[in-house]
Amino acid sequence: MERIYAQTFLPERPRALIMRAMESHELLREVFQKASPKQAAAEMGLSLSMIYKWAEPPASTSGATNPLDRVSALVRCTGDHSIIQWLCHGAGGFFVRNPNANHPHPLHLVPAMNSVVQEFADLLSVMAAAASDSQITSTESKSIRARWEELKSVTEEFVQCCEEGNFREIKKVQPPHK
């Protein structure tokens, strides 16, 4: 009996779960289909027409620069992603930076998985060393955070490779002859 690895077990890209790239006004239009623009205007102290203008394409004469475009421009011109981290934290989450797109993706599944496991081991090592004296200093906390961010990035790269089918097919393993 022949066993096939990787190709059998890697799921197809879950298309419904991955947000397609969209313009900010398109996202706001979707948001305002689920949430009340009138309530948003009232809570933000803005006119209802301003809220509706945010959901219009900027090329149109009535489209207004929306807050998403302004925040995006602020991050782009400052190069500081702590703004995004702050927004994510306020929403009960965290920002995970995608891996550098210039790095070639791992082509083999096992080495890619090993990278994730190694980063996790490195994080545990830093945590154990920091906690060895039953206290964690500010410097140790920063070191733990840095390892954690690296682990998230390496794991994201692995997941992206899985989604894109970006691993070479693993050779079929023939069972030993008896």
pLDDT confidence bin for 95, thresholds 50/70/90 = confident
Reduced to 3 states (helix: H, G, I; strand: E, B; else coil), residue 138 is helix
Q: Which of 5, 2, 4 has its CA nearest to residue 109?
A: 5
d(CA 155, CA 176) in angstroms, rounded, equals 34
pLDDT confidence bin for 44, thresholds 50/70/90 = very high
d(CA 88, CA 70) in angstroms, rounded, equals 16
Average pLDDT over residues 63-90: 89
Question: To the nearest whole number, what is the mean pLDDT of the chain?
Answer: 78
Q: Domain coordinates of the chain in residue numbers? A: 1-64, 71-95, 97-178
Give buried/exposed letters for 133-163 (b at 16+ CB in 10 A, else e).
eeeeeeebeebbeebbeebbbbbebbebbbb
Q: Each residue of 105-154: pLDDT tens digit?
A: 556 677 778 888 998 999 999 999 999 999 999 999 989 988 888 888 88
Q: Each residue of 115-127: pLDDT tens digit?
A: 889 989 999 999 9
* Degrees to nearest 5, angle at CA 81 with 65 and 60: 15
DSSP state of 91: T
